[in-house]
Structures are given as C-alpha cells and as structure tokens.
Amino acid sequence: MAKAVSVRGLTKAFGARTVLDGIDLEVEPGEFVALLGRSGCGKSTLLRILAGLDRDVEGEAEVPGTVSIAFQQPRLLPWRKVWRNISLGLHRPDGRAIALKALEEVRLTDHADAWPLTLSGGEAQRVSLARALVREPDVLLLDEPFGALDALTRLAMHHLVEDLWIRHKPAVLLVTHDVDEALLLADRILVLDEGRIVATHHVDLPRPRRRASVVEQRTRVLADLGVDVEEAA
C-alpha cells in the first residue's frame, strides 16, 4: 500500500542556516503521528513543505493524496461567514449543506451564519478543523492547533480530534510541544531536534487513553527532549 507521506533525505536551509537536515519519514495511511520538538527546531517548516507551500528544498517529499491543514491561528477569512469559510475552495454546488454537516461534527451548527470575529478562540479553531476535514484529506497536517487555547478547551479539542480522526481516518501529522497531547493522541511520536529526527516512540496504549496511563512513557519521551523529570521534580 502506498504511503500517505514519504520523505527521504529532506534538507531545507534558509541562507546559511540549515533548518531541516536530512529528514527521513514515512507515514502510513490512517496513522496518527505526533511531531515533538522545541520551538524553532523546524516543525512548521516540515509541515509547510508537506503542504506544498515551500518547494525550494533538497531531497524528496512525496504526499500522493490530498492534503489539508490547520494552523495555530485559525486563519479564517473574517469577511466571509463561517459556513462560507468552510465551503470556499471546495468547488461543490452543495457547499452550504456540506459546510453545515461539517459544522455539526464540531458542534457549531448554530454559528454557521456568524462572522468569524465573533467566535471565541476555541470555536474558531473548531471551524478551522471542520474546514480542513471537509476536504476529506488523505493527510491532515495540524500545526500546534491547540497551542493558543486555554487548558479546558484544549482537553475538549483532544477528544474532538480523536473522534474526527477515528471517523474519517486521515493520516495525521500533529505538531506539538505538549508531550501529554502527543501521548494521548498519537500512534507514533517523533522527536525533532536541530532539524533531525532524534527519537521515535510507538505508543501502543489502548484508546481512549487517560492521563494516568501515559505517565510511564512520558518520562522516556521527556528524556529524549533533554528534560530529566526525576531531577525537575
């Protein structure tokens, strides 16, 4: 079966600064992969390349299927109603019906005719997710989509994303710097540091996962990020 994402020897430099340094990465269809790393280590750059937004690279990055993306900021068009934000670019005559269905999945049907600037941060991010999913992507790229949300909203979003993933089964590449988030959601965790993948963890815990069940593995992932939990505590 073809891979959802296959990257070989991907190198990206901005001027003299090498941001991605020979990345190899394969993602199976329907697999949930989390990309962990400190700020500035090249996570967004990798996602932008996979989304086709940056083609000035060395090496290979193949994404054969359709790609969709949600960013840390919802990036909705403030001058288009919520439902239009979802249906625009789909090129489907039944755009509104499709948008309403997608809004139902993120429980925002009531806001279909609202202006985006009237939404809360969490609501806007849910619209952004609906907009990404309505394209039925083979690969869903999520660049810290919960980073700007408060802790409670973030918890709700974790459940929502897992739900949607189970229902639609796209391959997901989730960028985050929250270890717990990665452990709760991902089949596989990649640790990125200075443009290289320095560690890979398979998470075989049964779903739905609870916080307590991930504690043990958390310590090992944190160690790969250079954080010694015993010492920190």
Partner 1 sequence: MTLSIAGVATRPKTATPVQTRKFTLPLRWISPVALVLLWQLASSTGVLSPDKLASPLTVAQSAGELIADGQLVEAFAVSITRVFFGFLIGGFAGVVLGLVSGLSRWGETLLDPPVQMLRTLPHLGLIPLFILWFGIGEEPKLALVAAGVAFPLYLNLHAGIRQTDPGLVEAARVLGYSRIERVVHVVLPSAVPQTLVGLRIAFGTAWLSLIVAEQINADAGLGFLINNAREFLRTDVVVVGLVVYALLGLTTDALVRLLERRILRWQKR
Ligand X SMILES: Nc1ncnc2c1ncn2[C@@H]1O[C@H](COP(=O)(O)OP(=O)(O)O)[C@@H](O)[C@H]1O
**What residue ranges bind Mg ion (CB under 5 A)?**
44
The yes or no reply on residue 91 touching partner 1 (CB under 8 A) is yes
73 contributes a contact to partner 1 by CB under 8 A: yes
Smallest distance from partner 1 to CB 96, Å: 16
Candidates 1, 3, 4, 7; CA nearest to 196 is 7
Q: Which does 157 bind (CB under 5 to 8 A by kind): ligand X, Mg ion, partner 1, none?
A: none
55 binds, among partner 1, ligand X, Mg ion, none (CB under 5 to 8 A by kind): none
- Stretches 10-18, 33-41, 47-55, 186-194: which one binds partner 1 (CB under 8 A)? 47-55
Question: What is the side-by-side order of every strand in the sheet holding 139-143?
Answer: 67-70, 139-143, 171-176, 32-36, 188-193, 196-202
Read off φ and ψ for residue 121, nearest 5 degrees: -55, -45
Rounded CA separation 74/147 (Å): 11
Closest CA to 56 of 25, 5, 9, 13: 13
Nearer to partner 1, 44 or 217 (CB): 44
Report if residue 44 touches partner 1, rule: CB under 8 A: no
- Site residues (vs ligand X, CB under 6 A): 14, 19, 37, 39-45
